[in-house]
């Protein structure tokens, strides 16, 4: 059977576009198209992993899928959607041993993977591209912006909730003379962070955020809140409030979105269901309103900055690094992993491009005023 070039229109119905369409689906199997019609964007991801189709521009194809009007969810995806909504509201899977699931299934995949994909600092969060031309510059600019918003000074003790591979801890200690305690639930991250921060006033702990009891001059959390879970958002803010000194500052960088709710976009929800299955188990993107509803704490918002389109560019840079480094990874990870990771990176880039999700930095003060001194 000759190859067919297809695109997704309306309710993920496959039709033949002009051959020059760069985001068209190329497949030799009509069963793949029938499955996509049956399972929508979720089925796109499933069949892509299986090698059922290819495209010249995966990010553009998914952008079209995210922005093309759709009347309703395919019935199979509707059942998964209902299950996800109920699960988020009834169960708390991000507590106890469950708090470590995301590390086991994602961050502990292998430091070799993330070394190839990320910039030299191994920063796995959105860069800040306002005055940057490379990924490394964008990540340095983001870390510098956070340090400035924290009003860091030498000797301040900073808690980094979700410290990753130690990128912020190393930057704040080297550039600002801060003492940093970083916590992570990933063994792989903790080992690499300790190696990177050796000789600096940095302590890296394998610890859940709820177990921290000390008080700090400053607190930072860079895209960790997405792993907290919907039912633990209030707990997260209470921990920050408990651990932050009076007049201290807390900077949060967060991915925001309205997902799997009565008001969410059903096209993007299908992709979120795929992400929850394959990439970030038990993850939850908080709404902007949830990040400002900390009224039962003494935290108050001082500044809010959004730069969602910067994540599109960051993800494309990661995807390019991943592709260029694949020869050194393929024997360990295999072809199905490559396609799954591509669908993740390019799909998220498309989602930011379509404004289904955003990223922001929020500055909170404890006591309701901007802090300029240590307490």
Q: Which two tokens stand for residue 326?
A: 């694949």
Q: Is 348 a catalytic residue?
A: yes
Please pick, among 260, 287, 294, 348, the residue that the annotation labels catalytic: 348
- What is the C-alpha to C-alpha distance for residues 275 and 95, in angstroms, rounded to an integer? 20
Closest of 348, 350, 88 to residue 232, by C-alpha: 88
Contact of 92 with 29, CB cutoff 8 Å: no
Residues paired with 256 in a beta bridge? 358
Count CA within 13 A, CB hemisphere, residue 138. 24
- What is the C-alpha to C-alpha distance for residues 226 and 224, in angstroms, rounded to an integer? 5
Angle at 216 between CA 215 and CA 221, to 5 degrees: 115
Contact of 166 with 192, CB cutoff 8 Å: yes
Residues forming the active site: 348
């Amino acid at each position: 059977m000759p190859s067919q070039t297809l695109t997704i229109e309306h309710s993920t119905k496959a039709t033949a576009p002009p051959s020059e369409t760069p985001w068209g689906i190329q497949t030799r199997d009509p069963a793949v198209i029938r499955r996509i019609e049956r399972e929508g964007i979720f089925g796109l991801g499933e069949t892509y992993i299986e090698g059922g189709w290819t495209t010249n521009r995966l990010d553009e194809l998914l952008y079209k899928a995210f922005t093309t009007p759709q009347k309703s969810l395919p019935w199979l995806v509707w059942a998964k959607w209902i299950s996800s909504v109920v699960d988020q509201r009834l169960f708390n899977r991000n507590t106890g041993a469950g708090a470590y699931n995301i590390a086991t299934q994602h961050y502990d995949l292998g430091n070799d993977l993330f070394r190839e994909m990320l910039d030299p600092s191994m920063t796995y969060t959105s860069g800040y591209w306002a005055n940057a031309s490379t990924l490394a510059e964008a990540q340095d600019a983001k870390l510098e912006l956070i340090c400035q918003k924290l009003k860091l000074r030498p000797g301040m003790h900073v808690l980094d909730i979700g410290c990753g591979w130690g990128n912020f801890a190393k930057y704040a200690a080297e550039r600002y003379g801060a003492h940093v305690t970083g916590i992570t639930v990933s063994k792989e991250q903790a080992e690499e962070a300790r190696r990177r921060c050796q000789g600096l006033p940095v302590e890296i702990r394998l610890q859940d955020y709820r177990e921290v009891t000390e008080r700090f001059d400053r607190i930072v959390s860079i895209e960790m809140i997405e792993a907290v879970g919907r039912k633990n958002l209030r707990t997260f803010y209470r921990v920050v409030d408990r651990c932050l000194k009076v007049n201290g500052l807390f900077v949060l960088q967060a991915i925001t979105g309205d997902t799997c709710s009565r008001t969410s976009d059903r096209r993007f929800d299908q992709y979120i269901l795929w992400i929850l299955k394959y990439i970030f188990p038990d993850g939850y993107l908080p709404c902007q309103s949830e990040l400002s509803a900390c009224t039962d704490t003494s935290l108050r918002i001082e500044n809010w900055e959004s730069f969602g389109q910067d994540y599109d560019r960051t993800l494309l840079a990661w995807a390019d690094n991943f592709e260029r480094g694949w020869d050194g990874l393929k024997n360990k990870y295999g072809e199905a992993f490559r396609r799954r990771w591509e669908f993740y990176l390019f799909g998220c880039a498309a989602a930011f491009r379509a404004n289904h999700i955003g990223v922001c930095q929020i500055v909170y003060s404890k006591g309701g005023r901007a802090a300029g001194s240590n307490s």
